[in-house]
Amino acid sequence: MPMQTQTRLLTQDLLLIGGGHSHALLLLRWAMKPLPGVRVTLVSEGSESPYSGMLPGLVAGHYQRDDVYIDLRNLCRHAGVRFIQARVQRIDPAQQQVELEDRPPLQYDVLSINAGATPDLAVPGAAEHSIAVKPIARFWPAWLQQRDALLQKKTASDIAVVGGGAGSVELVLAMAHALRDAPARHRLHLVSRGERLLPGYPPAMLNWLQRRLREYAITVHLQADVVQVTPDRLHLADGKTLATDTVFWCTQARGAHWLAQSDLDVTDMGFVRVQPTLQTLRWPMIFAAGDCAWIDATPTARAGVYAVRQAPVLDHNLRAFLQQQPLKPYHPQRYFLSLLATGGTDAVGARGALPLAGKWLWRWKDRIDRRFMAMLQRLPVLPPPAQDQSRSLEPPAMRCGGCGGKVGADVLQQALMNLNAVCDTAESATPVRDDAAVIALDEEQNGKVLVQSVDALKPLLDDPWLMGRIATLHALSDLYAMNASPHSAQLQIQLPILQERLQVRDMQQVLQGVQQELQQAGATLLGGHTLEGESLQIGLTVNGFAQASAILRKGGAQLGDRFILTKPLGTGALFAAAMRGAARAAWIDAALPLLLQSSRDAVHILAQHDAHALTDITGFGLAGHWLEMLDAAALGAQVSLQTLPALDGALACLAAGYHSTLAPANQRARHRLVLDGVRAEEARYGLLFDPQTQGGLLAAVSAERADSCVDALQRAGFSAAIIGECVSERNLRVIP
């Protein structure tokens, strides 16, 4: 969630593609000085961006993964920028939109591209039988798998790195260092088509590196032009072959394939041609920087130093263009300090023709790299709210979205105190506390009843398309919890107060997300209502049909039943921490597939196993919804904390004191719990009260069928677990 609030009507969309060095530094500048009236959105395939300058140290084992990755979600939150995780397919400059994979396009007023580069895999077999070093996010797990296997293998393997530039030399030395203690003496090869390594670098620097290559027993193959890659060898232009077990591809870089498929001017290697102002040649509203850009007047090597130096110019020119002010040109420096890691904790370098080498140079490089990363990683983190803080005292900007934004159960009970607990009409036969209303139809419907529910969410994420999908699945969950089949829905959207063009864009994103999930469920969108407000809110009234005899209700649990939960817990704490900058991007990434997992198939499996009672876990948390089930059955339950499944990072967030806005209200039900050998301070205990958005189902299934039911759910892709047992004592007993 954005950290800053806007005080001026947003009228323009600035869209950033890619989380490279230029954009990362631009976001830092935007955090310090946002441009009023401009909404910024970063689109990136990954939620983390690796710093390429530290990759050799990471491969060699001098750094941990977290040392070299930029958390783009958190950086965007800090800058007040929307983050959308998606893969770009092409740009349509004429329509001013970016087409994305498996989701609707995004429109822009101004666009900036900082999408990096990738090795040229045009050689036959290279894409199928080698591991590309870029993008690093894909290379890193592949290298870890290879490294771990090689460290265990007792027979020698042949590992080839194809390429003769600085990156390939650093990489092969880092690999040799990482494998130095392997039980077998693996053979490393550096394969270059050139007559010498490191063209353009001073001879003295090359001599240092060649000596280090010999020390690590790395075989260098010069003038070795690879023309084909097969599963077990490299085929060279001179007819020779080189036997290989693993090949890493680190050749001359080229632009991402989708750049050439867009209506942009690109070089033969797919780089976007830009003017000195970093604007593309024919589309002044589109800018490009970093490795993906090519300035005809001053071409440069693909080196991160240029992307870093372009960031201030890019920032200035984007602001100037948005405000219709003059732009300034970027002038690449003629000389810069080039530092290359040499496997161990030493380095070589050069500035112009002056060579440098030694351990002191590694320490200098390490200090420079860590200082750069500190700027992007050590962002402000807001402390968690006080545990006893009244919900009404939480600052509006820090109030949670999703089900964490619901009104507490006590408020509802007090407001409904003077109303009848059951609708006194002939058409309804559903207690208010069930998940949806059941409305009886005439006899011609062959025993079918209409099941209806309404739900609404405030955003957990900046992505309106994803929120449309999540809100729809969340509303449909009430129908599934009654074993009803969705039929139709009406939609209510509150749009932020924006310039009309931006409202249309957001509305289209939400509608396409809603429509996608309704179609998957076999339901129709009948219509709806719109209004304006402070922020986006999405609500749906959903209708479904069920056989009256097959309806599953909250009541019905029987003594000895096992309680099955179909999804892990922790969305409330996780997204509350994310809003304050205390959650890792990887945790949010892991939670999203579960937020987008429909409960439809889970209900079918539970019904096949004769579930006696069913509900979905939403805003009032596991304890609140479970107690409703137990009260309806006049029974109790025993739960073991260790059986409660948790989302990645949720326990860490709870242990640090982060909880959703609604959690304190949910904890008022703790007097109904009996703690047996459990401390209320335990993080996992907090899962009982954590409000869930698009949470799982809680079902009561007979002891005889519970295990087979869980097996079937797990085979269908649900993280199902037995978490408790139905007992006669009318409370919820919590054991370790």
- For residue 299, the model assigns a pLDDT of 72
Q: If phi over 0 gives left and psi between -120 and 50 gives alpha, with beta otherwise, what is residue 118? A: beta
Pull the structure tokens for residue 560. Answer: 């000895």
User: Apex CA 370: angle with CA 364 and CA 375, to 5°?
Assistant: 130
Backbone angles phi, psi at 195, to 5 degrees: -80, -20
Pull the structure tokens for residue 73. Answer: 């979600």
Q: Is residue 280 a contact partner of residue 265, using CB atoms and an 8 Å limit?
A: yes
Query: Do β-strands 233-236 and 241-243 pair in parallel, antiparallel, or remain unpaired?
Result: antiparallel
- For residue 147, the model assigns a pLDDT of 96
- For residue 83, the model assigns a pLDDT of 98
Interval 292-339: pLDDT, tens: 999 988 776 656 577 789 999 999 999 999 999 999 999 887 766 788
From the candidates 76, 403, 653, 709, which is the catalytic residue?
A: 403
Say how many residues make up the chain.
Answer: 736
- For residue 427, the model assigns a pLDDT of 41
Interval 666-714: pLDDT, tens: 999 899 999 999 999 999 999 999 999 999 999 999 999 999 999 999 9
> The whole model's pTM is what?
0.90
CA R_g for the chain: 29
Instruction: List Cα–Cα distances, 620 to 60, 626, 666, 695, in angstroms.
Output: 48, 9, 6, 11
Q: Is residue 221 a contact partner of residue 242, using CB atoms and an 8 Å limit?
A: yes
- For residue 134, the model assigns a pLDDT of 85
Q: Is residue 86 a contact partner of residue 103, using CB atoms and an 8 Å limit?
A: yes
- For residue 297, the model assigns a pLDDT of 81
| Rounded Cα distance, 573 and 683, in Å | 11
- For residue 206, the model assigns a pLDDT of 86
Q: How far is CA 424 from the centre of its chain?
A: 47
Name the nearest CA neighbour of 718 among 461, 480, 467. 480
Question: Which amino acid type is present at position 123?
Answer: V
Those residues with Cβ within 8 angstroms of residue 105's Cβ, 6 or more apart along the chain or in another chain: 92, 97, 98, 99
Interval 209-263: pLDDT, tens: 999 999 999 999 999 999 999 999 999 999 999 999 999 999 888 889 999 999 9
Q: Is residue 43 a contact partner of residue 114, using CB atoms and an 8 Å limit?
A: no
- For residue 40, the model assigns a pLDDT of 98
Could you count the other beta carbons within 10 Å of the beta carbon of residue 92?
A: 14
- For residue 390, the model assigns a pLDDT of 42
Q: Does 403 qualify as catalytic in the annotation?
A: yes
DSSP string, 695-707: --EEEEE-HHHHH
- For residue 414, the model assigns a pLDDT of 53
**Domains, the chain, with CATH or none:** 12-116+255-334 (3.50.50.60), 126-253 (3.50.50.60), 435-551 (3.30.1330.10), 553-736 (3.90.650.10)
Q: Is residue 303 a contact partner of residue 329, using CB atoms and an 8 Å limit?
A: no
Interval 410-458: pLDDT, tens: 554 554 455 554 444 434 444 446 767 777 766 556 789 999 999 999 9
| Rounded Cα distance, 439 and 191, in Å | 73
Q: pLDDT below 50 — which residues of the chain?
A: 1-6, 390-392, 404, 412, 415-416, 421-432
